[in-house]
Chain A
Amino acid sequence: RKEVEQDPGPFNVPEGATVAFNCTYSNSASQSFFWYRQDCRKEPKLLMSVYSSGNEDGRFTAQLNRASQYISLLIRDSKLSDSATYLCVVNHQAGTALIFGKGTTLSVSS
């Protein structure tokens, strides 16, 4: 079983739609949680960190449920530019390597 599991999609949505991605992780000792965005043939870029209290950055809302080891990302009012692969990422300890999910592909169309 992979340490970080995501539905690979693809999610094909129209502009303006709301879309939600889910992720589960297996190691309860994981300390930090992130969503990264990766465009085709590019390096991953940090979208946002994820906290138990939930956090929002504009149209993006992330949530962490430590009890069920579940992470979510909600994108509201999807834009064409949101089309990318969204990577769920965990970290066991600051300074150590990140552990990536396979990613969920989002395609937003006009």
Chain B
Amino acid sequence: GAVVSQHPSRVICKSGTSVKIECRSLDFQATTMFWYRQFPKQSLMLMATSNEGSKATYEQGVEKDKFLINHASLTLSTLTVTSAHPEDSSFYICSSPSGGTQETQYFGPGTRLLVL
């Protein structure tokens, strides 16, 4: 099946720094990429939807100036957490739909972010 890679898998950073997370589709064109966040013992919550070549759409309560999303090509979408704070510590995960009538979503392996 299709594969989505995600890097880094883990990152520890100091408060105030920025962290970039990359998701790449390895064998298909990811026109759309969903970015989710999962806090401990919570559900995956959609943060934003990125579409190649256009601006991302953000869910209510997600600051677009803090979580910068770029989807410049059909195989790469990035999420940058700017000026990270400890409350941004979470599991960030991307997914892309397969398209077609038999809907499948391909997930990246996730990035665990810890902000000190």
Contact = CB atoms under 8 A, between A and B. Distances in A.
Interface of A: 2, 4, 8, 32, 41-46, 87, 91, 94-103
Contact of A94 (B46, B103, B107): B103
Contacts of A97: 34, 36, 46, 49, 95
Given A43-B109, A97-B49, A102 B41 contact: yes
A41 B107 contact: no
Contacts of A44: 44, 107
Q: Is the interface of A mostly helix, strand, loop or mixed?
A: loop
Nearest to B48: A97
Interface of B: 32, 34, 36, 41-46, 49, 91, 93, 95, 97, 99-101, 103-105, 107-110, 112
Which has the most chain B C-beta neighbours within 10 Å: A2, A42, A97, A99? Answer: A97
B99 A95 contact: yes
A35 B34 CA distance: 19
Closest 8 CB pairs between A and B?
Answer: A43-B107, A94-B103, A100-B43, A100-B44, A102-B43, A97-B34, A97-B46, A43-B110
Contacts of B41: 8, 102
Given A94-B97, A101-B43, A42 B103 contact: no
Most buried by B among A2, A41, A43: A43
B49 to A, nearest CB: 6
Contacts of A8: 41
A32 B43 contact: no
A45 B110 CA distance: 12
Contact of A41 (B91, B97, B104): B91
Contacts of A100: 36, 43-45
